[in-house]
Amino acid sequence: MVRLANDVGWGAVTLDAIAAEAEIGLDKLQAMFPSRAAIVAGFMADVDHDMLGRLDSGESHYAVRDRLFAVLMARLDALRPHRDAVVAMLRGALGDPVTACALATTSRRSLSWMLAAAGTAHTGIDGELKMQGLGALYASTLWVWARDTSEDMSATMAHVDRQLRRAESIFQFLQRSVRVPRRSTRKPARA
């Protein structure tokens, strides 16, 4: 699937072409992946697994921003061998609602794993805000990464660092401004 997406573009990748590339029958492909969306989900799950395997558990004492930086770069390193295919899928998703939905669903799952790997809460309202913020940051990073052909991914790393610093500032501002006032324990004076 990855080579096909790279060679002909995601929009032209058909189930029968995937089966032929894998040298299996359509019945076997259907048993493993009932749709192109399931194939996208499987690919993204493999990337999640690869990303998590690249992380050093000894980084838990670092600041959240540094841990998120390490997680994002591990994810991009996991995607790197498939860059052209990923770019083809992203471009193909612009005109293919099914692929767009599959990427949105799997991206949400991936964002949860990324936040968990960074050791930051990702449940409740606070977690939802973090997930939305990380999702926006990751989406903007993918487009920078897609054009960054340098060996050390310097443009991508600079973008991630800049965006994480901006996100950290926004998050700190929100935490300061949205404080829930404590209820007074004093009884009101009687008139």
What is this structure's pTM? 0.81
pLDDT digits (tens, 9 = 90+) for 14-60: 899 999 998 999 999 999 999 888 988 999 999 999 999 999 876 66
What pLDDT, on the 0 to 100 scale, is given for residue 72?
Answer: 95
Residues of the chain short of pLDDT 70, as ranges, are 58-60, 173-175, 178-191
Measured CA to CA, the distance from residue 191 to residue 189 in angstroms comes to 6
The pLDDT of residue 89 is: 87
- Determine the CATH number of domain 36-177: 1.10.357
- Burial of residue 128, with CB atoms counted within 10 A of its CB: 0-12 exposed, 13-18 middle, 19 or more buried: exposed
Report the pLDDT value the prediction gives residue 63, as an integer from 0 to 100: 85
Residues 15 and 36: beta-carbon distance below 8 Å: yes
If you ran DSSP here, which 8-state letter would residue 181 be given?
Answer: P
Give the pLDDT score at 28.
94
pLDDT value, residue 37: 87
Q: What does the pLDDT read at residue 103? A: 87
Query: Which of the 8 DSSP states describes residue 19?
Result: H
Amino acid at 128: E
